[in-house]
Amino acid sequence: KQEVTQIPAALSVPEGENLVLNCSFTDSAIYNLQWFRQDPGKGLTSLLLIQSSQREQTSGRLNASLDKSSGRSTLYIAASQPGDSATYLCAVKSGSNDYKLSFGAGTTVTVRA
């Protein structure tokens, strides 16, 4: 069974600082890994999707890396802004005959103005 862990559970930084969010998973046989953002009481917004054959993906200020062999992914957010305050979730798609996502518990980020 795939287990996904996100550390830290919460993070508070001043505006302008770079953010580093970590995700680890136990089974390296994955199809892909996806990072999401969730604002309070809202649905999930997809940020980046990394296929198992890729090492990283970039979108604007966001960069996500994937190291399958060590079961880790890192989400970097450059020059954080108060609008980046949200919960960030990492999800891994894996399994032989199923396609469900296994989610981490998330990292709640607060960017102080």
Partner 1 sequence: KAGVTQTPRYLIKTRGQQVTLSCSPISGHRSVSWYQQTPGQGLQFLFEYFSETQRNKGNFPGRFSGRQFSNSRSEMNVSTLELGDSALYLCASSFQGFGLTLGQYFGPGTRLTVL
Which range in 8-16, 58-66, 67-75, 102-110 contacts partner 1 by CB under 8 A? 102-110
Could you tell me the two tokens for 49? 């999707």
CA 2, CA 59: separation in Å to the nearest integer? Answer: 27
Which residue among 46, 58, 59, 110 contacts partner 1 (CB under 8 A)? 46
Which residue among 9, 15, 42, 79 contacts partner 1 (CB under 8 A)? 42
Question: Around Cβ 88, how many Cβ atoms within 10 Å?
Answer: 22
Q: Which CB sits closer to partner 1, 13 or 62?
A: 62
Q: Please, which residues have CB within 8 angstroms of residue 30's CB and are 6 or more apart in sequence? A: 2, 52, 68, 92, 93, 94
Could you tell me the two tokens for 60? 């604007």
Q: Which CB sits closer to partner 1, 69 or 99?
A: 99
Which range in 8-16, 45-53, 67-75, 78-86 contacts partner 1 by CB under 8 A? 45-53
Q: How many helices (H) and strands (E) does the chain have?
A: 0, 11
Contact residues toward partner 1 (CB under 8 A) are 31-32, 34, 36, 41-46, 49, 89, 91, 93, 97-103, 105-106
